[in-house]
Structure 1
Amino acid sequence: MPEGKDAPEVAPCCPPLTSPDLSAEDARTMAEMFKALGDPVRVLLFSRVASHSGGEVCVCDLGDLGVSQPTVSHHLKKLRDAGLVTSERRGTWVYYRVAPGVLARMGTMVSAR
């Protein structure tokens, strides 16, 4: 590869994922969120909650995920513990919604600047 003024200018392969001033606390929080999404069932659950009309979904309306109800509950707890979703009990049923600001934070983390 030629060097000097005749060398072709090489563009970086991709823009950085985030700004270099990400705090250690923000990094830890984001790592926990992305770690929670490291399971396909949790990604599917998060997607169903995030895309449901009205901004929330009853656990009874999540549909068949190919796993048992106790397993669904376990995965929803993991999403809740990671701060990705919130829940509210109404009588017999529990309703889930994406936690405020989560999609924006995650989008900022992975979008090009």
Structure 2
Amino acid sequence: MSNLSVRELPVLQPEETVAPCCPPLTERPLSAEEAERTAVMFKALGDPVRLRLFSLIASHEGGEACVCDISDVGVSQPTVSHHLKKLREAGLLTSERRATWVYYKVAPEVVAAMSALLDLRH
């Protein structure tokens, strides 16, 4: 696996998504490509501010939140925007601009795949 830093996460175009990639770890070993793609998602969640933002969005009514509702996490607004961008780039969030606000939503298929990957009950 390469040493991608969070700053070097691949940038996705709006029409691109991160596809859930992997079977449960107990089923078979991950390929190098699967490990690389999955690591990008886990690296994005490895930052406490990002994890908190992700949690705020996931637990918000309907699993969607306006950036105006989640900005109070102890860092500046530009830093919040940076972290939200990294979560989007990792495929963990989707976003939609409505008038002057951006609304974020958890990408449920990606989160479900990450959960299934770690499910040791299989």
- The TM-score normalised by the length of structure 1 is 0.79
- Partner Cα separation in structure 2 for residue 65 and residue 51 of structure 1: 15
- Report how many residues are paired: 98
1:86 aligns with 2:94: yes
Partner of 1:37: 45
Amino acid at match of 2:37: T
Any conservation in 2 of the 1:18–1:108 contact (CA below 8 Å)? no
Partner of 1:97: 105
Distance verdict in 2 for CA 1:49–1:18, change over 3 Å:
farther
Deviation at 1:24, TM superposition (A): 3.6
Which among 80, 85, 88 is matched to residue 72 of structure 1? 80
The within-5 A match list for 1:14-33 is: 17-33=25-41
**Gaps in structure 1 of 5+ consecutive residues:** 1-15
> Which segments of structure 1 move beyond 3 Å, counting only runs of 4 or more?
21-25
Deviation at 1:23, TM superposition (A): 4.0
Counting aligned pairs with the same residue, the percent is 68
**Gaps in structure 2 of 5+ consecutive residues:** 1-23
Deviation at 1:52, TM superposition (A): 1.0
